Structure 1
Amino acid sequence: MVATEASMKEVSLLIEENVRPFLETYKDIDVIGQFYGEFLRYTGGDKKGLGIVLTPRHITEIFVKMARVGLNDTVLDTCCGTGGFLIAALAEMDAKAGNNETLREDIRAHRLVGVEQQPQMFALAASNMILRGDGKANLFQGSCFESETINKLRTPDTEKFARPSIGLINPPFSQQGEGLHELDFVLNLLDILRPGGRAVVVLPMSCAIEPHIARSTLLEKHTLLASISLPNDVFHPVGVITCALVFEAHQPHNDAPGQTWFGAWKNDNFIKLKKKGRVDARGTWPDIRDAWLKAFHERKEIPGQSILKTVTAQDEWLAEAYLETDYTSLTEADFARVVREFAIFDTVIATEAAPGSPGEE
């Protein structure tokens, strides 16, 4: 027992000396999530069986900015994992609060709400928030589908937090069982949000393409504001292709005054480096992020990148299905390259087809 207490004290001191000062400088980094990701690498498991795919930091950051998280919002993540989205929202709110300590305390006490079913992940999320001075984190351990939890979130104790206005989730992928489809998690989140609330969710690309009864239910109750195709390897080394869907809660899609905005954000210019994963090695992400956000918020139509379209539950919710090819960026060098490639291909085919060539039957 003494040895255990001594070990815990030693760990606590190490955290106080090495982790807390780091958090004061880098407030938006999910330290626990980073550690957890490294732990999975060295244990040889990615937990895909549990559907756990941690959201990269730059994705949590841009989602918070897409949702326009403000000081009057209450942010909810019903599948919070290690708390990555809540940490990104906290950083955004802190930046807007500046040095106003009253506002900063209000953010930590009343503006961040999370639900996590896995006990281990819940402990990591709680640790993450405590490290950021959030001793009153509104975190719930259990399923977001439990009626008791839903009631607490929809009609909360106003002394603790208001009904959430913004939802940010990366739900478990490929879960088995009735009512555990990724879109069921989206429906659950939107039903909890207050009317007019905004949700930004990460989903497998299949959710934007394949038929599912939840798609009709979603649009009967809520509005699909936008669909964005994310970089193919954004969740490297897990090979899932993803998209982001943006909804307005409790506003039927057919009553929406505008069309759905579709964007293709396929190149974030991150590169894969050994032992580091995907990183912004060239330092170009801030400019790319700002350009994407400008197009999204202004609902710009950019050839080859974004388009406005009227869609139903039966249509594909995918930018690539509607984007037109942008020919304005083509150059003479592009044309010459394609001609060379075709000439080489044609030569190879002709050689293989010649009499007596290798492989001839």
Structure 2
Amino acid sequence: MTTVVGSRGARAPSVVSAPAASMPRLTVGVEEEFLLIDPETGRVVPGADAVRARVRGPVASRLVPELTRFQVESNTEVHTELSRLGDDLLELRTAAATAAGAAGLGLVACGTALSGNGGVPPLSRSPRYHEIAREFRAVIRGQGVCGCHVHIGMEDHEEAVQVSNHARPWLPVLLALTVNSPIADALDTGYASWRTMLIGRWPSAEPPPFFHSFAHYESLVTGLRASGAILDRGMVYWLVRISDHVPTLEFRAADVCATVQETVLLAALVRALAATALLDVRAGLAAPPIDQTLLRAAYWRAARDGMAGHGLDLITGSRVPAWRLVRALLDRIRPSLVASGDLRTVTAALDAIRRGGSGAARQRAVYLRRRHLPDVARLLIEQTVAVPGHRAL
């Protein structure tokens, strides 16, 4: 038995020494959002309809519109094996990138637009998106941002909200590992994840509250709708939420990952975290009651520094190197990673980030050489369809 992050001066017990046979075997699926750009300038181009029209075969139905006309979203199948998830992700990225190339565009996995998204973006045709723009006014400016959402199969809503409670302290670590949006409007923002700052304008876009029950979860959603802070359940932008259309718990903390390898890493960490939390829930162990203000502060720090700086230790309240928090997360979920056979995959991907830097660090390094956006655009286009294990991060 070990401990997990708790309130200052207290630690919550966790059954992380449980035998592998008792670890829940959870399914995983991923949604990724991408930008379409002019490869010569890095500027976003509203070509989503033309790109999607060029996609053929079974994957066509799994490449769908997003908020703006310069974005496309991919949806994987449901998987139990990370290798199959990785193949699925690469197939979807390749199909979208090939279609984009045929339209004279580049597909990039990047959290924010390098250029061309400073104002109200060109919205997709969906009446819902236009209603959102009318209701939320200037919040819509610059909102063509791209995240990666990991869905973990979980049908019991009572268990799901308790898993969310257990996962809350680790959301900043998941963000720090996946930061991929340092540049926006042709400027280095000084943040590793500027997407986090932009999406944080929405009333519900924050770490999830501590839920006492599923009824409590539902009461908060009802209150958000009554206030007009959300127009429908799809606008519950908590960083962990119960999906409204599939039987999953959805983790939404991450920027879209620069590479397939990093997306698979995120999926592995999220699934192991959810499995570890679910084991604790079923053992009757309470989640640590992390204060929402401190959790928001830790998430902000992760968005600012990523892996290149510090994070907030939610036990001591002090700043510590970001990699120390990653090690703590690995200690927490290691039994689940061993049970699923994912530990080697996770270790290799973390080593690659340690050697080559996060997605944000790689973008910034290329940008600072000449402060030339097309250099960054080329990097992003190449990374988006890099073959895991064959191309350097």
What is the TM-score of this pair, normalised by structure 1? 0.26
| Higher relative contact order, structure no. (Cα contacts within 8 Å, ≥ 6 residues apart) | 2
TM-score by length of 2: 0.24
Give the number of the structure whose alpha-carbon radius of gyration is greater. 1
